[in-house]
């Protein structure tokens, strides 16, 4: 169920704001019918979350369409005009570079970028937030960006690196396919970070947009000899703190 300001909330109050079969409607229905409780201080926080989740889906599709490619950290690369590549393979926003331009550049000049699946998830979040926040707000909230899987996350996005068991896997969640018997020489295939998309599809960087079965098959093809355990989708999800991100958005937007 959904709870707003401590009271159960009937989604009929806002579901009409969204087109039939839209991502927002699917989300509201799943949350409303859930045995778990999704709590919000106010309705705007709920609206923000479904909007940001939709943008996470859109950002995944955009990134998948770009020429942004896969590489293990040791072979990672980024456009040096915007990013400094650190010794551990991460990307740090260059001094003087505009955060919004640097994030957009990943889509525009995708061929100059390559990294692994977890960092791609963080890039998805930044693109999505850039599509929701104004450019000015984005640049004020994220003046420094460091992209290196779940390492040294911005405090506002810290929860994106901390998967927890959840009642429902929602569209826009960050999920994980685990490959327990992976070949010891391919640590990058120990699992696949994914964004959950509509229609039972997933976006995994390097794999693309596909089904759970296809991802499991790819991971299973990279197991050690004598492997007995199949790759599987974990019943956990990592979610940025949507309420905190909403408050940043609502407070700054209203104050402006």
Summarize as ranges the residues that interact with another protein (CB under 8 A): 70, 72-74, 86-89, 116-118, 149-151, 153, 158, 161-163, 176, 178, 180, 183-188, 190-191, 193, 206, 218, 221-222, 224-226, 238
Kindly tell me which of 22 and 86 has the beta carbon lying closer to another protein.
86
Contacts of 7 (CB under 8 A, 6+ apart): none
Work out how close the CB of 137 gets to another protein at its nearest, in angstroms, rounded to a whole number: 25
Work out how close the CB of 33 gets to another protein at its nearest, in angstroms, rounded to a whole number: 29
Kindly tell me which of 128 and 231 has the beta carbon lying closer to another protein.
231
Work out how close the CB of 86 gets to another protein at its nearest, in angstroms, rounded to a whole number: 7
Kindly tell me which of 66 and 131 has the beta carbon lying closer to another protein.
66
Kindly tell me which of 200 and 225 has the beta carbon lying closer to another protein.
225
Q: Distance between CA 33 and CA 209 in Å, rounded? A: 27
* Torsion-angle region of 62 (φ positive above 0: left; ψ -120 to 50: alpha; else: beta): alpha
Work out how close the CB of 53 gets to another protein at its nearest, in angstroms, rounded to a whole number: 21
Work out how close the CB of 124 gets to another protein at its nearest, in angstroms, rounded to a whole number: 16
Work out how close the CB of 106 gets to another protein at its nearest, in angstroms, rounded to a whole number: 19
Question: Tokens 């992209």 appear where?
Answer: 147
For 60, other C-beta atoms within 10 Å of its C-beta total 27
Kindly tell me which of 125 and 249 has the beta carbon lying closer to another protein.
125
Kindly tell me which of 65 and 229 has the beta carbon lying closer to another protein.
229
Q: Distance between CA 8 and CA 10 in Å, rounded? A: 7
């Amino acid at each position: 169920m959904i709870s707003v300001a401590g009271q159960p909330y009937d989604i009929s109050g806002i579901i009409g704001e969204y087109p039939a079969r839209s991502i927002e409607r699917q989300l509201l229905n799943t949350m409303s019918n859930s045995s778990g409780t999704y709590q919000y201080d106010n309705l705007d926080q709920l609206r923000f979350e479904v909007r940001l989740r939709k943008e996470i889906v859109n950002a995944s599709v955009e990134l998948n369409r770009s020429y942004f490619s896969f590489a293990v950290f040791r072979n990672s690369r980024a456009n040096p005009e915007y990013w400094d590549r650190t010794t551990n393979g991460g990307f740090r926003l260059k001094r003087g570079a505009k955060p919004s331009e640097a994030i957009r550049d990943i889509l525009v000049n995708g061929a100059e970028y390559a990294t692994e699946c977890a960092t791609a998830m963080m890039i998805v979040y930044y693109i999505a937030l850039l599509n929701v926040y104004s450019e000015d707000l984005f640049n004020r909230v994220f003046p420094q960006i460091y992209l290196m899987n779940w390492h040294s996350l911005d405090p506002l996005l810290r929860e994106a690196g901390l998967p927890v068991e959840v009642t429902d896997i929602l569209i826009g969640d960050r999920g994980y396919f685990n490959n327990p018997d992976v070949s010891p020489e391919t640590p990058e295939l120990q699992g696949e970070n994914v964004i959950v998309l509509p229609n039972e599809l997933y976006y995994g960087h390097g794999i693309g947009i596909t089904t759970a079965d296809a991802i499991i098959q790819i991971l299973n093809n990279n197991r050690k000899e004598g492997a007995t355990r199949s790759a599987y989708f974990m019943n956990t999800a990592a979610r940025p703190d949507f309420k905190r991100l909403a408050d940043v958005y609502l407070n700054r937007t209203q104050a402006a």
